[in-house]
Amino acid sequence: MKPDTPNLDIPYYQAGGNEVEVFEHAWRNRLPLLIKGPTGCGKTRFIAHMAARLGLPLYTVACHDDLTAADLVGRHLIGDGKTVWCDGPLTRAVREGGICYLDEVVEARKDTTVVLHPLADDRRILPIDRTGEVLEAPPSFMLVVSYNPGYQNLLKGMKPSTRQRFVSVRFDFPRAEQEEAILIGETACPPDLARRLVAIAGALRALKDRDLEEAASTRLLIYAALLIKDGMDPVAACRVGIIESLTDDAEVAEALMEVVSATF
């Protein structure tokens, strides 16, 4: 596995608060970071930005319920009659002194997250049972995890013994003028289109708790902006780019489309 980020150019990231400073303070003090926030609000982009800014290799793992400790740490592979050890992304990041970012960490099985414990406290070690090695993380290594406290995760949550090892930052959707800047930065769409899409998102987010599992994300606004820029009718673009990704209920979709029709 190769690091995700070539360190030459820094991915665009519009800061919403003091998250850049928090990240740098945590990194300098060798503290792990937990980022919580809704899907599509910029968590992954933020980490890519910070990794490039600090010139660190980044290993990203999208967690899921089949993820095993071996997927993170590594395993023996057999080929040509030989057994060779192959580092997993967590081990690579530790060896290289980079960032390991575990996206949606609550999806991972509890026994998987336990391998993070000795890395996420002041020991900063990674014992590799299979090889007998105990890696000491270099000062530049940083463990970052994220999760979405909304949907379905209320019950799953994170064990207190895991979460209390992290400095924690809450992310939310950007303020309107910031989200407009992100849309323009990401898609080069006209400012008026950015304004309208952000207004739609504002109206949809106000409905969130009533009808929808998840609010309209910045990512979906970017999709709609790209489709419209490419010549699609704005109402149709918002339907496929935003509304149909938010709900499977046809009636709810029609109700949400009224917000769109009122704007375009």
Q: Which residues of the shown chain bind ligand ADP in the complex (CB under 6 A)?
A: 12-14, 37, 39-45, 174, 182, 186, 218-219, 222
Nearest approach in angstroms of CB 138 to ligand ADP is: 26
Q: Which CB sits closer to ligand ADP, 75 or 219? A: 219
Residue keyed to tokens 């409905």: 207
Closer residue to ligand ADP in complex, CB, 146/162: 146
116 closest CA partner among 147, 87, 142, 154? 142
Q: C-beta of 42: minimal distance to ligand ADP in Å? A: 3
Distance CA 76, CA 96 (A): 20
User: Closest Cα partner for 218 from 194, 187, 177, 183?
Assistant: 183
C-beta nearest to ligand ADP: residue: 42
> In angstroms, what is the minimal distance from the CB of 54 to ligand ADP?
17
Of the candidates 227, 101, 122, 222, the residue with the CA atom closest to the CA atom of residue 165: 122
Contact between 103 and 62 (Cβ < 8 Å): yes
Nearest in space to 152 (alpha carbons), one of 239, 252, 249, 65: 65
> CA geometry: angle at 55 spanning 50 and 61, to 5°?
60
Q: How far is the CB of 200 from ligand ADP (least distance, A)?
A: 16
Closer to ligand ADP at the Cβ: 112 or 218? 218
Q: Choose between 130 and 175: whose C-beta lies nearer to ligand ADP.
A: 175
Distance in Å, CB of 174 to ligand ADP, minimum: 6
Residue 5 or 14: which CB sits closer to ligand ADP? 14
Sequence-distant (6+) residues with CB within 8 A of 170 are 36, 37
